[in-house]
Chain A
Amino acid sequence: MSNRVINILVPVISVILGLLVGAVIMLVSGYDPVKGYIALWNGIFGDAYNMGETVRQITPYLLSGLAVAFAFRTGLFNIGVEGQLIVGWFAAAYVGVAFDFPMYIHLPLAILAAAVAGGLWAFIPGLLKAKLQVHEVIVTIMMNYIALHTTNALIKVMSDGGDNTGTIHASASLKSAFFESMTDFSRLHYGIFIAIAMVVVMWFILEKTTTGFELKSVGFNQHASQYAGMNVQKNIILSMVISGVFAGLAGAMEALGTFQYASIKSGFTGIGFDGIAVALLGANTPLGIIFGATLFGALKYGALNMPNEAGIPVEIVSIVIAIIIFFVACGYVIRYFLEKTNKKKEAK
């Protein structure tokens, strides 16, 4: 078995193990796992509406996964995707509500606003990391809470004490009449094209540009990169900002596509944190992220059907996702067993 095959097998085995553990938990808790997984399946593929909604759920996951993965490639752990997504969400909604331009200006402007907001939000931890060596994990976690409270306060100001920005103008909307007619009026929107385009953008930056080479190089070894004449500080900041831009765009998907507004939130959306799972499962590669986002987006949306059809709490899917990450993290053991069985076969 080549290294490449093993690299693909580790996440696949993790997913299977995760689903198995989920089944065992359902069984132990007195639920019927077969019924549960059938409900999950129907929740994802049941009808045109569900399929549309599943793809709609995958859209922000693609972008939050890209955001986490991009920072990872430079050796940075951006837990702040959640906060960057929230500020992006608000920025896009604000531009969508406050201005009134023709669509070819308004929509790009709203998307750009989200990207800039997300990028700025990630710039602060990037700067602190580069200049003061402050650990980005702590700063981004704190920035998440600041983002939550800040956007809530801004929405309150904007709506004169209300809890909602109001619906964005149609000229800033990603809504798609075509998708609606195809998927029985699901909220599937054109954002999916933006998300996929960004996957290509990430691949292009990392694989085809000098900047991407430098970013990856800093991720592998900061000292060697510095010695080779690269500006490590600049690359750390740049990596965080680009990561934040992806996260902000994920927020734009929610603001301009799914919800058409921003509202006061009592807690986090979870999309940013699930982005960590997506990136990990996808081994931080663009193609892997498509795989990870599709799987987790589908699981998350499909799970909503489980309480209705099988009477099982939605959280079972969160447990499964956490277990999958856990197994991916423990990839060393899976790798070890794969190589061992491999050697046995070769010996025979």
Chain B
Amino acid sequence: MSFLEVLYFIIPSAIFYAAPLIFTAIGGVFSERSGVVNIGLEGLMVMGAFIGILFNLMFVDTFGSMTPWYALIAAMLASGLFAVMHAVATISFRADQTISGVAINMLGVAIALFSVKMIYGKGQTDYIQERFIRDDIPYLSEIPILGPMFFKDVYGTSILALIVALLAWFVIYKTPFGLRLRAVGEHPMAADTMGVNVTKMRYIAVILSGALAGIGGAVYSQSISGEFSHSTINGQGFMALAAMIFGKWHPLGALGAALFFGFAQALSIVGGEIPYIDKVPSYFLHILPYVLTILAIAGFIGKANAPKASGVPYIKGKR
């Protein structure tokens, strides 16, 4: 394998593994920018993965090859709805945001597994027949070097992830909505004084984060795992959370961090097929993403990058 061939091999895999992280991390950006810590991303992703597979299995005869895309929408709605619970607890009921997030994580896994056992009578679902498929992007895939690297045999969902990240950047930094979102997360009282509805903004942000995490979960289950069991998501939501922090709460930063983690994950999974890397014991490749995350967080970002009001419930009239 020449160096270029290695790149043709590893870069598409990295983007493939990064896509679910990108969606979920962008979701995290929305939530935290509004001042609500959302550690429940994992649970929301689990819910999305489960609903995605469930919908896919149930309606594959109706929708045929379009099933995964409809399942994506179903997962988005389900996880968005699930996130309302986190929103009510943290925004209206002033619950500790981390604890509510932990409850969401436990609940997501428990509800999904409970339903799987109830519906299928066993611990995991069947494999889906219709997955997301790879395709070449016309014209772009013919560009030399870059074409085969980024646009050949690429998943539609990966392209969608990039679009969502760019869109999120535009929404957060270039629209009045985004300005209000950031204001609410930095200084809710000032925003409130200026007539921004803090509660409403935060509800929208948390529900958005749920919807995006749901998409992330459904993308993962319908392109990577192909079924749902207790170990399907297994920490992807936490990785997304780390990507968001590593990306300094910025949509494009989160995109970059997610791609980086996707790369680390791809290495640990397909590394055995790459010269030199196949000599490294698999143990080191397995722990690589996590060690890199710790090093990245410890080395590259100091404190005081988080939105100022993140983690603090807003209580009207309290100074």
- Chain A residues within CB distance 8 Å of chain B: 25, 29, 77, 79, 128, 132-135, 137-139, 141-143, 145-146, 149-150, 152-153, 266-267, 273, 276-277, 280, 313, 315-316, 318-319, 321-323, 325-326, 328-333
Residues of A within 8 A of B283 (CB): 149-150, 152-153
In this complex, what residue of B is CB-closest to A141? B238
Contact A138 B109 (CB under 8 A): no
Contact A318 B117 (CB under 8 A): no
Contact A330 B95 (CB under 8 A): yes
Task: Name which of A79, A135, A329 has the most chain B CB atoms within 10 A of its CB.
Answer: A329
Contact B110 A318 (CB under 8 A): yes
Question: How far is it, in angstroms, between the C-alpha of A132 and the C-alpha of B98 when the chains are bound?
Answer: 21
Q: Chain A nearest CB: distance from B94 CB in Å?
A: 5
Question: How far is it, in angstroms, between the C-alpha of A150 and the C-alpha of B283 when the chains are bound?
Answer: 7
Question: How far is it, in angstroms, between the C-alpha of A161 and the C-alpha of B250 when the chains are bound?
Answer: 44
Given contacts A322-B110, A329-B103, contact A139 B303 (CB under 8 A): no
Contact B302 A139 (CB under 8 A): no
Given contacts A142-B294, A333-B93, contact A280 B107 (CB under 8 A): no
Interface residues of B in 83-125 (CB under 8 A from A): 85, 89, 93-96, 98-100, 102-103, 106-107, 109-111, 113-114, 117-118
Contact A323 B298 (CB under 8 A): no
Name the one of A77, A128, A322, A325 contacting B294, with C-beta atoms under 8 angstroms: A128
Q: Chain B nearest CB: distance from A135 CB in Å?
A: 7
Residues of B within 8 A of A321 (CB): 106, 110
Contact B117 A313 (CB under 8 A): yes
Residues of B within 8 A of A318 (CB): 106, 109-110, 113-114
Residues of B within 8 A of A329 (CB): 89, 95-96, 99-100, 103
Q: Chain A nearest CB: distance from B257 CB in Å?
A: 12
Q: Does B169 contact A (CB under 8 A)?
A: no
Contact B95 A332 (CB under 8 A): yes
Contact B287 A139 (CB under 8 A): no
24 CB-based A-B contacts, threshold 8 Å = A128-B298, A134-B294, A134-B297, A135-B297, A138-B294, A139-B298, A142-B290, A142-B293, A150-B283, A153-B281, A267-B234, A273-B106, A315-B110, A315-B117, A322-B106, A322-B107, A322-B110, A326-B89, A326-B95, A329-B95, A329-B99, A330-B93, A330-B95, A332-B93
Contact B286 A149 (CB under 8 A): yes
Residues of B within 8 A of A315 (CB): 110-111, 113-114, 117
Residues of A within 8 A of B89 (CB): 326, 329-330
Residues of A within 8 A of B193 (CB): none
- Chain B residues within CB distance 8 Å of chain A: 39, 85, 89, 93-96, 98-100, 102-103, 106-107, 109-111, 113-114, 117-118, 230-231, 234-235, 238, 241-242, 245, 281, 283, 286-287, 290-291, 293-294, 297-298, 302-303
In this complex, what residue of A is CB-closest to B108? A322
Residues of A within 8 A of B106 (CB): 273, 277, 318, 321-322, 325
- Rank and list the top 9 A-B pairs by shortest CB-CB distance, nearest first: A318-B110, A313-B117, A133-B303, A322-B107, A322-B106, A315-B114, A329-B95, A153-B283, A326-B103
Question: How far is it, in angstroms, between the C-alpha of A239 and the C-alpha of B107 when the chains are bound?
Answer: 29
Residues of A within 8 A of B109 (CB): 318
Contact B291 A146 (CB under 8 A): yes
In this complex, what residue of B is CB-closest to A29? B118
Residues of A within 8 A of B294 (CB): 128, 134, 138-139, 142-143
Name the one of B99, B113, B286 contacting A325, with C-beta atoms under 8 angstroms: B99
Name the one of B118, B287, B298 contacting A146, with C-beta atoms under 8 angstroms: B287
Contact A139 B297 (CB under 8 A): yes
Contact B107 A319 (CB under 8 A): yes
In this complex, what residue of A is CB-closest to B118? A29
Residues of A within 8 A of B95 (CB): 326, 329-332
Question: How far is it, in angstroms, between the C-alpha of A29 and the C-alpha of B238 when the chains are bound?
Answer: 30
Name the one of A133, A273, A322 contacting B302, with C-beta atoms under 8 angstroms: A133
